[in-house]
Structure formats: structure tokens, C-alpha cells
Chain A
């Protein structure tokens, strides 16, 4: 690639990221139209796209973006308000820039679309002002922070006259109004309150200090006290603005605050400063300041500190772009390292050199840390997907005339990068289903007493070694009867068959299944759900569907956290070793000949009163040789069932680096991969859920067969 092309590629990648950020910020802005931080970040994104664009020769992008940026500049300066129209247009602009970036369009149609967007944007500009005339407006305003929308800290001293109660005023109401303007700390001073014998119960002896952070301007504060202007002493002072604090303004020292407030003189202050205790205490001891004043000033100091910490421009955590290939390579190497380390540990255990053991232990510890770290490098929060889906729902629901809101939970949940990429299509499909078939049109919803707006809720959370992703909608839910009828029609199930609700729901995951009466561009073709199922299973995950007719549905995707290395339980069958995923294993118990006899031919075990069926892996895998007298049952839990697997011996925990068996063995049931043990031999990794499934099918077939035999005899 020539260096110019390489630069263009770099620009493209950066621009894609910026456009993604732009899109999610715009979605957020729709809910928080006054958030100046969001507006700023949108402006910066547009600005960067424009600037870099012209630098790398993307002149058309730069020119277009310039127009959009200009409009957003006016939003930044509070000259235009944020409206749905503005957001729609900006989203269209973002799409347009994306198209230009991909070079998908031909020049003419691209330019005409761009021009249309720009003229619509220009219509949003206020009539009196053209873009060239902003200078007149700003000339009038002085730089006082009182006018702008910036956050400013004010110190307010409110000292009402004693008769104020007789005007019917409750000063606490004024304090509450102050609190509504922003973040406020208030302290009441009671030092003027006389002793009980001398107090007039209907006079006010209290006065207040408040520190308020607000962006509403000083007039809003003055307005709070407007009706009591004549009945009090009021002082309002600016002690800082957001600009000052961003430049590293130092947190106010207590002494400064005292001096500013006129409690003490600088000389008196300096005198006391030369001693060693805390300044507030010292000043109180020296009789220069009252304890109450110290507390009030401390409150101010805290308030400012808090304000600073929320306003420090967040340093972008420095990051670096790495190609996925390099990461995959790294993960592979770590995998190999884990295998060799297992060999080292094994050898060290049997060697007579104690130093070797020590070293092996340390290598094991480091390898584990390296493994965890590397795995986490590939972990990405799912939140980025969520924002994309918000946009999807917004567009989709607009298209089909429904009102739908998306809520999310757990956006910070992290998943392996490859898993996230592969999840995209299935999730899109599931969401489209909810939107198309799940949520009813607003009028219908109103008729049945539901709120007009439907909700699609996406949530993600860790659960053990898995991630659970749920898509919940409050729509019409699944119609069990319709599904059943369709399945019978398609010949998928027997009309007489008795199936649980869950099983019927699972039918919709079968290929060619769709109960939609009409096919839309969005969905209904029946090619979706089975593909979803396959995609999820390819990630070693599972789908669960729960639904209530009329109330809504919840689809839960369960995915393993990492694809490459799992904690396994190493077991022995004859000469061979196998690995069972430890996350599913609950316990191991013995199985003696006696136990088998007690069960009278049925493969079940009695575990503390609970009946647990088991599968003999010796039989299943046709293992040679005779079984030992005492076998082990490894009891695993899948969904809500406990099932046992009988093995000869349980060796112990084993960090299992999963190696794929290759396409040759792809269709072998019950085995999901293999791993290389410390001594170089291969152990197959058992696919527990699959084994249980096939065993259940076998059992069902067998009992049908038996029944049939019985009947014909």
C-alpha cells in the first residue's frame, strides 16, 4: 500500500470510530437535550472529521461536514435549540459521511443528497441571524459568567432581619429554592441565638451561608430572594467558574477563604500559620475565628473540591490500536504456554529436586496471571453494541409506525471481542422480531390498557463462567397455540404429542418456521431464528425463550466468557483421559456395584435423597477393557437438571486450552474439542449439554419403541 493510501486507511478507521461516537452521542442527546458536554463532544467529533478529512484529501467529506459543524457550533453557543429534527438531520448527515467514506456512491447522487441535507439544516437556523452575523450578538455580552450557561460557584450569605417571621416567611423555603438551582451546601449559623430566658420565640436569629454550583446565572439566585430583599442582608459572590477550574485552579485553602470572607486579616493569619496544628483549629483557638465559621468554610472547600473532580477534563485513557491477528497470535502463545507449564508442574512433582518445584509453582502463578490478562485484553464492553441497537430500534419503529423505547442494563459487561462480533447478527434479528412481531401498534396497545410506547429492554450480566444477554419486550408475547398449530401443519410435531410450553417455544428456532402472516422487509421469512440458534451454538452458547401471551417475551442468550481456555475436570476412562467443563460440574460421588444393583437396571443414583439419572461414558464412548469395581459419578447441572456421568476415575482440575478437532470431526456428537495434556497425550473435551440432549432423545425413542412392542405383542 502506498503511504498515501495507508494514510487514507488510517483516516477511514479513525473516522469510523468518530462516526460511531457521533451516533451514540446523538442518541443520548435526544434524551438530554440540554447536556452541554454532549453537544461539545458532538461538535469536536464533527470538527475532527472535517479537519482530518481535508488533510487526507477527502475534500467532499470536509466540505459537507463543515456545514454540519457550523450548525452545531450555533447549538454550542445556545443560538439554536436541540430538536428532534436537528437530531434526525444530524443522523442523516452521519449516514451520508459514512457513505462518502466507503466510496459507495457515485459523485452526482452523493452531492445532491448532501446538498439536500444541508439545506434542511440551514432551515433550522434562526431567521434573524445568518451565519456571518454572529459578531453583533456576542459583542454585547461581557465576559461575566453570570450570563452564559457555564457552571459557576457562588458564595451566598443570607442574613434575614429578626422580624422576618412576622411577614409569614419560612426561610427554609428559600433555601429549598436555592437547592433547585444546582448543587448546594448550606450551613445555618446559630451563634446569635440568645439563651432561653431572653429569646423572643417569634424573632429570627439564624443566618445562613450557602455554596452553590449552578449554570443558571446570578440573576436566578437573586430571584430566589426577590420578595425578601428589604427584609434581609444578602451577599452573593462568585468564587469560581468551570473555566478557571479546568486550568488547574488549586483547591481553595481554608485560610484563603477566611481572608476572602473578611473573618481575619492576612497578618493575623500569617502569624498563626507559623505554628503547627490544623489551620482551622488554630484560628479558633487563637480566638480569631469562630468554630462555626470554620465549618462553613470547610463546607465551601469540600464543595469546590467536589466540583473540581467532576469537571476535570477526563484524560482520555491512552490506548493503542492492535490488529486482531496479533492478538490471536498472543492468545495462541499463551495457550501453548499453559500446556507446557502443565508439563513442567507434572515433571516437577515427580522429580527429586525441590528447587524445581519452587520454580514450577512460580511459573504456574505467572502463567495464570498472564492468561487472565491476555483474556481480558480481548474483552470489550457490550455497551457499544447497545448504542447501535438504540439507533436500530429508533429507525425501525419509525419505519413501521410503532412507538418503541429501548432501555439497557449492564452496558459495561465485557465479552470477548470475537464473541461480540459474532453476536451482532443474531441480536439484530432478535430485536427486529421484538419490534416487528412483539410490540403492538400504539393504538392497539392503548386499547388493551398498555402504555402507547412499547419497551425493548436489553441487559447483559455475568453469571458464573457465562454472560447472560436478555432481550425483553412488553409486547404481545408468543402465542403457544399458533406455534403449535403451525408446527403440526409443517409436520414438525405429532398432533397428539404432549409438549411443555418451553418446548413449544423452542420450536420457533427450527428452520423454516414462522407464524407471521405476512412477510415484511424486516422479518417474517422464517430464515432467521434457526440461523440465530446456529450462531449462538457456534459460540457454545444457548438460547432460552420465555413468554406470556399479552404480556411480552424474554429471550435469554447464555454465552461462555472465553472461547479459548476453560477450567476443566480431568477424568479417566480406561486408558484415555477426558475433560469435563468444570463450570457445569457440581460434585462427584462414588458408584459401587451395590448401588447399581439397587437401581434394578435403571441408570439412576440416589444423592442425599434426590434421584439423579446418569450416563455411562464407558458405554457411550465404547471404551475398551473392563470397568473398575468402584466408579465415579460426576454430577453436572445443565439448566435445572442434574445429570451424572460415570467415569473410572476423577484426576482433578485442569486448565484446559481448547483446541478445535478440525472439520473432519465436526459432526462427532458429545465432544466439543480437545486439549493436550502435560504428558503430550490428547484428552477429548466432553460437550455435556449435547450428551444430555441425545440421551433424552434416545430414552424417549426407546420408551416409544418399548410401548410399540408392547402394543403389538
Chain B
């Protein structure tokens, strides 16, 4: 079961997701992300209650990030991600030290800090 909720306050918008992010809900995720994108310029993702995420949804998050970087928006992770979420990211090989080729300074979601934590 997946649940998307868009919270808008002042100039911030937060997309809260509960459940598991898999390809079954990928289209829903894209729609939710699009709504988030259109709602404001200062965006947040609250994925604290997401236990796992597969490749299709990881891609979507990257896509959202790219769009924001290209349109003068900011998008950040709100709060801590769960250990199992981080494990999904690691298993998919998405953890990285630097940025991908799009080179969006230091805002990549998957970048490690010095301790190797997301």
C-alpha cells in the first residue's frame, strides 16, 4: 500500500510518502512528484516512512532532482531516511561519492558525506 500526501505551507511544499516505493506505484509517484514540482519553488521530500525503493522510483527521484536544478527550484530530503531505505539505495548501486554527470554541485540525494552516510 502506498500513500502520497502533498503538504503546502507558506512557500514550501512537502511530499510525504508512506509505504514501499516499487514499480507498481511508479506512475503514481511521477504524478505526485509533478504536482509537488508545480506547487512551489522550495520543495521537500519526506520519505522517513518509506522502507524500500526500487530502481524505477530511484530514477524518478533523480528525474525530479534534475528538473528542479534546471528550473531554479530547490529540492531536499526532509528528516532521516530509514536504514532499510538506505540499504535499498546501496543495493542498487546508487550511493556515490560525487555527482552524476549532470554535476549539480552538492545537492545530489545519494552522495555520501565523509562518513559514508547518506
Chain A residues with a Cβ under 8 A of chain B? 165, 170-172, 175-176, 186-191, 193-197, 199, 201-202, 204-206, 208, 210, 290-295, 298
Instruction: Say yes or no for B7: interface residue by CB 8 A criterion.
Output: no
- Closest chain A residue, CB of each to CB of B64: A196
> Contacts A202-B23, A291-B99 hold; do A172 and B30 have CB atoms under 8 A apart?
no
CB neighbours of B88 from chain A (8 A): 172
Chain B contributes a number of interface residues (CB within 8 A of A) equal to 33
A500 to B101, CA, bound (A): 75
Interface string of B78-118 (1 = CB under 8 A from A): 00000000001001111011111111000000000000000
- Closest chain B residue, CB of each to CB of A170: B54
**Contact call B66/A201, Cβ cutoff below 8 A:** no
> Contacts A171-B55, A206-B55, A292-B101 hold; do A201 and B60 have CB atoms under 8 A apart?
yes
When A and B form their complex, what is the total count of cross-chain residue pairs whose Cβ atoms lie within 8 Å? 98
Instruction: Say yes or no for B39: interface residue by CB 8 A criterion.
Output: no
CB neighbours of A294 from chain B (8 A): 98
**Contact call B103/A291, Cβ cutoff below 8 A:** yes
**Contact call A201/B55, Cβ cutoff below 8 A:** no
A170 to B96, CA, bound (A): 20
CB neighbours of A193 from chain B (8 A): 59, 62-63, 66
- In the complex, which of the residues A171, A172, A202 contacts B27, with contact meaning CB atoms closer than 8 Å? A202
**Contact call B26/A202, Cβ cutoff below 8 A:** yes
**Contact call B100/A292, Cβ cutoff below 8 A:** yes
**Contact call A201/B27, Cβ cutoff below 8 A:** yes
A165 to B54, CA, bound (A): 11
Instruction: Say yes or no for B11: interface residue by CB 8 A criterion.
Output: no
Instruction: Say yes or no for B50: interface residue by CB 8 A criterion.
Output: no
**Contact call B100/A199, Cβ cutoff below 8 A:** no
A201 to B91, CA, bound (A): 20
**Contact call B98/A202, Cβ cutoff below 8 A:** no
CB neighbours of A206 from chain B (8 A): 55, 58-59, 92
**Contact call A191/B93, Cβ cutoff below 8 A:** no
Most A CB within 10 A of own CB, among B29, B54, B88: B54
**Contact call B102/A204, Cβ cutoff below 8 A:** no
CB neighbours of B93 from chain A (8 A): 175, 186-188, 208, 210
Known: A175-B91, A196-B66, A201-B60. 4 other contacts (CB 8 A): A171-B92, A196-B63, A210-B93, A295-B98
**Contact call A188/B63, Cβ cutoff below 8 A:** no
A-B contact pairs, 10 of them (CB 8 A): A187-B93, A191-B101, A193-B63, A196-B64, A201-B59, A201-B60, A208-B93, A291-B100, A294-B98, A298-B97
Interface string of B1-43 (1 = CB under 8 A from A): 0000000000000000000000100110110011001000000
CB neighbours of A204 from chain B (8 A): 55-56, 59
B103 to chain A, nearest CB (A): 6
A204 to B59, CA, bound (A): 8
CB neighbours of B60 from chain A (8 A): 196, 199, 201
**Contact call A189/B63, Cβ cutoff below 8 A:** no
A299 to chain B, nearest CB (A): 8
**Contact call B66/A195, Cβ cutoff below 8 A:** yes
- In the complex, which of the residues B26, B94, B96, B101 contacts A201, with contact meaning CB atoms closer than 8 Å? B26
CB neighbours of B97 from chain A (8 A): 295, 298
**Contact call A195/B70, Cβ cutoff below 8 A:** yes
- Closest chain B residue, CB of each to CB of A188: B93
**Contact call B91/A172, Cβ cutoff below 8 A:** yes
A201 to B55, CA, bound (A): 10
**Contact call A175/B66, Cβ cutoff below 8 A:** no
A196 to B92, CA, bound (A): 20
- Closest chain A residue, CB of each to CB of B91: A172
CB neighbours of A298 from chain B (8 A): 97
A478 to chain B, nearest CB (A): 45
Instruction: Say yes or no for B74: interface residue by CB 8 A criterion.
Output: no
A188 to B56, CA, bound (A): 13
A293 to B96, CA, bound (A): 12
A109 to B96, CA, bound (A): 68
B73 to chain A, nearest CB (A): 11
CB neighbours of B29 from chain A (8 A): 201
CB neighbours of A170 from chain B (8 A): 23, 54-55
**Contact call B27/A189, Cβ cutoff below 8 A:** no
A172 to B59, CA, bound (A): 13
Instruction: Say yes or no for B67: interface residue by CB 8 A criterion.
Output: yes
**Contact call A290/B91, Cβ cutoff below 8 A:** no
A189 to B54, CA, bound (A): 15
A428 to chain B, nearest CB (A): 48
**Contact call A290/B101, Cβ cutoff below 8 A:** yes
**Contact call A295/B54, Cβ cutoff below 8 A:** no
CB neighbours of B103 from chain A (8 A): 291
A606 to chain B, nearest CB (A): 52
Please list the 10 inter-chain residue pairs (A to B) with the smallest Cβ-Cβ separation, ordered nearest first.
A290-B101, A201-B26, A186-B93, A188-B93, A191-B101, A196-B67, A199-B63, A195-B67, A196-B63, A201-B30
- Closest chain A residue, CB of each to CB of B92: A172
> Contacts A196-B30, A291-B98 hold; do A172 and B55 have CB atoms under 8 A apart?
yes
A293 to B37, CA, bound (A): 29
A277 to chain B, nearest CB (A): 15
**Contact call A190/B100, Cβ cutoff below 8 A:** yes
CB neighbours of A176 from chain B (8 A): 91
B5 to chain A, nearest CB (A): 19
A204 to B91, CA, bound (A): 16
A378 to B60, CA, bound (A): 65
A201 to B30, CA, bound (A): 7
A125 to chain B, nearest CB (A): 45
**Contact call A165/B23, Cβ cutoff below 8 A:** yes
**Contact call A195/B63, Cβ cutoff below 8 A:** yes
A205 to B60, CA, bound (A): 10
CB neighbours of B64 from chain A (8 A): 196
A187 to B94, CA, bound (A): 6
- In the complex, which of the residues B27, B54, B62, B98 contacts A190, with contact meaning CB atoms closer than 8 Å? B62
**Contact call A199/B92, Cβ cutoff below 8 A:** no
CB neighbours of B62 from chain A (8 A): 190, 193
**Contact call A205/B59, Cβ cutoff below 8 A:** yes
**Contact call B92/A188, Cβ cutoff below 8 A:** yes
CB neighbours of B91 from chain A (8 A): 172, 175-176
> Contacts A172-B55, A291-B103 hold; do A188 and B34 have CB atoms under 8 A apart?
no
